[in-house]
Amino acid sequence: MTAGGHEVVLHGHDAASGLEAIIAVHSTKLGPSLGGTRFFPYPDEVTALTDALRLSEGMTLKAAAAGLDLGGGKAVIIGDPSLAGPELWAAYGRLVDRLGGSYITAEDVGTSVENMAEVHRHTQWVCGLPTSEGGSGDPSPMTARGVRAAMTASAEHLWGTSDLAGRVIAIQGVGKVGGALARLLADDGAKLVVADARRKAAESVATDTGATVVAPDEVLFIEADIVAPCALGAVLSDETVPRLRCQAVVGSANNQLAHEAEAEALAARDILYAPDFLVNAGGIVNITTELDGAYDPVEATRRVDGIHDTMVSVLARADRDGITPEAAAIALARSRLDA
Ligand code: NAD
């Protein structure tokens, strides 16, 4: 998916703290750019830059499709997150501050809400702060809630009812999002099948929810109503799509399609693929309510639940125009960006 060139790319280097960071502002057309800070031991700067460019562009589409008045941005810090100290977070906060609010940061892979609290001491342009500081805390439970909202919309589309009771739902990865999702779906009466690379995590979720545990290499391919990839990207490939035995794929993992062509391959097999960037927007929708002033969990929940209606309209548009839901979600985002 492409949405044009980037507005600003800022490279920050601070010798004293060892900070090596790249902030990519893809678009501020709909509002300040927002996206998390990924902290990862990239092998070189080109790989880090490529990731920042790609992820920030994805954030533009995600925010636009979710109806947020925000643009897309992303930052990457090169290095080992376990070695980061207060000086590095201070230097990073000053770097974010230089962009004067055109980029707002948050947590992502390798960073935490506590790290964001440190960054916040040096710039106001941060959200996703700890609840102890009046923020929204860990976004994962709200991301899970958004996934369920997308599932009920998909269920209505496929089976004429949003009721998930009795539906077989297989979850790949029961970490922060997948675990919370399993608990929500168990309350809905779904029959769960779970797998995790950490067997103990899967067993613990199974104890709480009555789920059946299967091996990580089986979970995508069991006979199910819905499969929810909540672990890794690129799980839907020309090797895996032909082996799926489900009616819908609705999960939180980012970049589930190994190639854009897989969206067509899934449609050709009559499998509803709910676009990941729409399904997993609950986290960003939640944290951005902090930008309106004090975090209001009731208002945040209402907005996250709105993913249901967005999904309904994307599926309707896909049917109407004879395109995949992925193409319909991108068209929805583009129509906002081009307006
Ligand atoms: P997490 O690290 O807490 O959980 C991921 C889980 O997947 C872990 O328990 C891990 O052991 C398991 N796993 C890894 N490889 C696996 C495999 N091959 N088979 C089965 N299980 C495997 O991460 P998370 O925060 O729950 O995020 C899950 C996915 O959702 C990621 O792709 C993330 O980018 C995406 N996402 C998360 C959020 C959020 O709010 N946390 C928001 C948007 C998107």
Mean pLDDT of 64-85: 97
Asked whether 91 lines ligand 1 (CB < 6 A), one says no
Mean pLDDT of 297-303: 97
The number of CA neighbours under 13 Å toward the Cβ of 97 is 12
- Active-site residue 74, yes or no? yes
**To which CATH superfamily is domain 8-62+71-133 assigned?**
Leucine Dehydrogenase, chain A, domain 1 (3.40.50.10860)
Mean pLDDT of 162-189: 98
Report which ligand 1 atom has the smallest distance to the Cα of 195.
20
Percent of the chain at pLDDT exceeding 70: 99
In angstroms, how far is CA 81 from the centroid of its own chain? Answer: 21
Q: Which of 249, 234, 251, 254 has the alpha carbon at shortest distance from 324?
A: 249
Mutation pick for ligand 1 pocket among 34, 55, 183, 196 (CB with most ligand atoms within 8 Å):
196
Quote the tokens at residue 53.
């460019």
Tell me the CATH number for domain 140-280+309-338: 3.40.50.720
Mean pLDDT of 84-111: 97
Q: Which of 250, 249, 241 has the alpha carbon at shortest distance from 269?
A: 241
CA distance 227 to 217: 13
Model pLDDT, residue 1: 45
pLDDT confidence band for 202 (50 / 70 / 90): very high
Beta strand pairing call for 33-34 and 103-104? parallel
Between the CA of 112 and the centroid of ligand 1 the distance, in Å, is 14
Between the CA of 159 and the centroid of ligand 1 the distance, in Å, is 28
Q: Do domains 8-62+71-133 and 140-280+309-338 have the same CATH topology?
A: yes
- The answer to whether residue 41 scores a pLDDT higher than 60 is yes
Mean pLDDT of 53-82: 96
Between the CA of 98 and the centroid of ligand 1 the distance, in Å, is 32
Quote the tokens at residue 233.
């990207």
Residue of minimum CA distance from atom 43 in ligand 1: 280
DSSP run (H or E) holding 161: none
- The answer to whether residue 34 scores a pLDDT higher than 50 is yes
State pTM to two decimals.
0.94
Asked whether 122 lines ligand 1 (CB < 6 A), one says no
Rounded to the nearest integer, the mean pLDDT of the chain is: 96
Domain boundaries, the chain: 8-62+71-133, 140-280+309-338
- The answer to whether residue 126 scores a pLDDT higher than 50 is yes
pLDDT confidence band for 257 (50 / 70 / 90): very high
Model pLDDT, residue 3: 47
- The answer to whether residue 190 scores a pLDDT higher than 60 is yes
Question: Which range among 1-15, 55-69, 135-149, 282-296 shows the weakest confidence by mean pLDDT?
Answer: 1-15
Collect all residues with Cβ–Cβ distance below 8 Å to 205 and sequence separation of at least 6.
174, 178, 179, 182, 183, 194, 196, 211
Model pLDDT, residue 293: 86
Mean pLDDT of 248-271: 96
pLDDT confidence band for 4 (50 / 70 / 90): low
Between the CA of 160 and the centroid of ligand 1 the distance, in Å, is 30
Residue of minimum CA distance from atom 8 in ligand 1: 175
Q: Which of the residues 29, 74, 176, 191 is marked catalytic? A: 74
